[in-house]
Amino acid sequence: MSKWTHRHLVDLHDLSREDIEMIFESANSFREVNTRDVKKVPTLRGKSVICLFFEPSTRTRVSFELAAKRLSADTINISGSSSSLTKGETILDTAKNLEAMNVDLLIVRHPVAGIPRVLADNCKAGIINGGDGMRAHPSQALLDMYTIQERFGKIDGLHVGIVGDILHSRVARSNIVGLLKMGAKVSVCGPATLMPPGIESYGVDVVESVDDLIKEVDVLMLLRLQKERQKQKYLASVNEYSTVWGVNEKRLEAAKKEILIMHPGPTNRGVELSGDVADGGHSVILNQVTNGIAIRMAILYLLSTVRDEGLVSTQ
């Protein structure tokens, strides 16, 4: 039986398949807590967890905070705009000052790729990447894979299609890394202007048409069209995007009977998917959100364990 040895969770590149399975097993043991009347266990009593978010978030921040609270940790939220970063302090100095208060775990979301890695390399507190730039969103990919495993009993051998703005998506990058490690086949599909150059080198297939992809896959993961980036004219129009790439009930008629529709949120209804698909029988979008708490409880627990035992960190 392998043992958890990671002090930080920055990128799924750092985890083995066994590490990911360990997170899933731990999530299995915590998920029941979330259905109790009193949703609390003493596992992390006395631990301090800080969410330090420099970008908007609903799911990730609330889910980590609830996960920490349900494990009885003390939690604090800091936003970039309410911190002393506005007075010129660097993020590393901010993290080191928080660490000087004996904080155990710091969950960081930042628009600049690589910030969580810099903090992990320089801090004693455990660093959890809550999403950095276009690079990685490891807890999202873990909860996505956990939801797939819950539905199919496996990930190995499944075919997962990811549709949309792959270029700007940290969710897509982390899912590609994680799903390939777990033995899935991954295909991507979307406008050429929103496809990273050399995407095939990630180990994925590129499929030109969403209608061709829908027929083949067990899971269809739709990405948010990041409208805030469209000033740069990646697309002729949002309407055109919806017509060519959006998934509606008509398009889904060609899909396998058991296809899962996933979306990391927030969704743009009527753009990347229609309302009836978002709310339909194939959609597991809200299951992803529910599973996110169990996955984040597992992450907080495992990172705390290694800190308590003083194990040598590999990352």
Question: Closer to ligand CP at the Cβ: 132 or 218?
Answer: 132
Per rule CB under 6 A, count of chain residues that contact ligand CP: 9
Q: Does 29 bind ligand CP (CB under 6 A)?
A: no
Neighbour order of strands in the sheet with 260-262: 205-206, 185-189, 159-163, 219-222, 260-262
Q: Which stretch binds ligand CP (CB under 6 A): 57-65, 67-75, 119-127, 196-204?
A: 57-65
Min dist CB 57 to ligand CP, Å, is: 3
Cβ(156)–Cβ(264) below 8 Å:
no
DSSP H stretches of helix in the chain: 17-30, 59-70, 91-99, 115-122, 138-152, 170-181, 210-216, 238-245, 249-252, 275-278, 285-309
Min dist CB 211 to ligand CP, Å, is: 26
Question: Closer to ligand CP at the Cβ: 6 or 109?
Answer: 109
> Which residues from 130-189 bind ligand CP, rule CB under 6 A?
131, 140
Question: Closer to ligand CP at the Cβ: 160 or 255?
Answer: 160
Distance, in Å, from the CA atom of 109 to the CA atom of 51, rounded to the nearest integer, reads 8
Angle value at C-alpha 15, between 152 and 155, nearest 5 degrees: 10
Cβ(8)–Cβ(303) below 8 Å:
yes
Question: Closer to ligand CP at the Cβ: 55 or 150?
Answer: 55
Angle value at C-alpha 297, between 29 and 113, nearest 5 degrees: 140
Q: Does 57 bind ligand CP (CB under 6 A)?
A: yes
Options 26, 48, 60, 174; binder of ligand CP; rule CB under 6 A: 60
Question: Closer to ligand CP at the Cβ: 58 or 239?
Answer: 58
Min dist CB 88 to ligand CP, Å, is: 27
Which pair of tokens denotes residue 228? 């805030």
Options 29, 58, 122, 209; binder of ligand CP; rule CB under 6 A: 58
Q: Does 59 bind ligand CP (CB under 6 A)?
A: yes
> Which residues from 258-287 bind ligand CP, rule CB under 6 A?
264-266
Min dist CB 282 to ligand CP, Å, is: 19
Min dist CB 49 to ligand CP, Å, is: 16
Question: Closer to ligand CP at the Cβ: 48 or 60?
Answer: 60
Amino acid at 56: P
Q: How far is CA 245 from CA 9, 99, 190, 266, in A?
A: 33, 45, 7, 17
Question: Closer to ligand CP at the Cβ: 223 or 306?
Answer: 223
| Helices 17-30, 138-152: crossing angle, 10 deg rounding | 70
Residue 86: Cβ-neighbour burial (10 angstroms; 0-12, 13-18, 19+): exposed
Question: Which residues are near ligand CP by CB under 6 A?
Answer: 57-60, 131, 140, 264-266
